[in-house]
Amino acid sequence: ETGVTQTPRHLVMGMTNKKSLKCEQHLGHNAMYWYKQSAKKPLELMFVYSLEERVENNSVPSRFSPECPNSSHLFLHLHTLQPEDSALYLCASSQDLRGPGYEQYFGPGTRLTVT
Amino acid sequence: AQKITQTQPGMFVQEKEAVTLDCTYDTSDQSYGLFWYKQPSSGEMIFLIYQGSYDEQNATEGRYSLNFQKARKSANLVISASQLGDSAMYFCAMREGKENRDDKIIFGKGTRLHILP
């Protein structure tokens, strides 16, 4: 059973809506990540948080706004999205950022459809 | 240039046969880690196996083994005695280990594996 949960599992929203994706990890990890997975594309890293501080933002449009209130929770706030933002959004956590052996544990993802 | 290359977009394999999924990587780091993940149709990414660049022996986890050929920069996943439940997307990934910057995992495009009954 995964130690990383995501809600909701499915989300349909209009381009003018505001919604939030939630991720929670129960593993005591220090680092958390948001990924976007579009059809036929590699996983795209969006944001990285380490000990609640954002350490990476991979040129993500401002209509995606992450929030990490504590080391166990990560949110992705969405507003005025575009149809091309429809994708599977995956949250992951790892013990730490450094060292090649720290595997990431993924949540089940949120399937987002923008209409 | 791609850091992780998976040349097989899709594969069909008969149940109970062994499967080899190809992965080559590109890095100038001496210290790095290689991972394989499985993603079933449900969407969840499941960690399968890890190989460190300094590990002398190939990693094994149950039916999964990683054929690590460092000189060729190859990290193929071998699944023995395939099962219907192995049908999924498989991703090879690499984490580079430079100490003077934060690490991140880089994923390949994946291989979709279909196990035939």
pLDDT of B17 over the 60 cut: yes
CB-based contacts of B100: which residues, under 8 Å, 6+ apart? none
Q: Select the residue of B33, B42, B107 nearest A100 (Cβ to Cβ).
A: B33
Q: Provide the pLDDT confidence category of residue A96 given band limits of 50, 70 and 90.
A: confident
Distances (CA, A) of A17 to A63, A84, A110: 11, 15, 16
Q: Taking residues B83-112, what's their average pLDDT?
A: 83
pLDDT of B100 over the 50 cut: no
Interface residue of B50, B55, B95 to substitute, partner A, most A CBs within 10 Å:
B95
Token pair listed for B29: 């780091």
DSSP-assigned letter for residue B59: P
The answer to whether the peptide bond before residue A8 is cis (omega within 30 degrees of 0) is yes
User: Can you give the pLDDT at residue B98?
Assistant: 59
Question: What element of type H or E holds A19?
Answer: strand A18-25
Interface residue of B28, B30, B45, B54 to substitute, partner A, most A CBs within 10 Å:
B45
User: Can you give the pLDDT at residue B110?
Assistant: 92
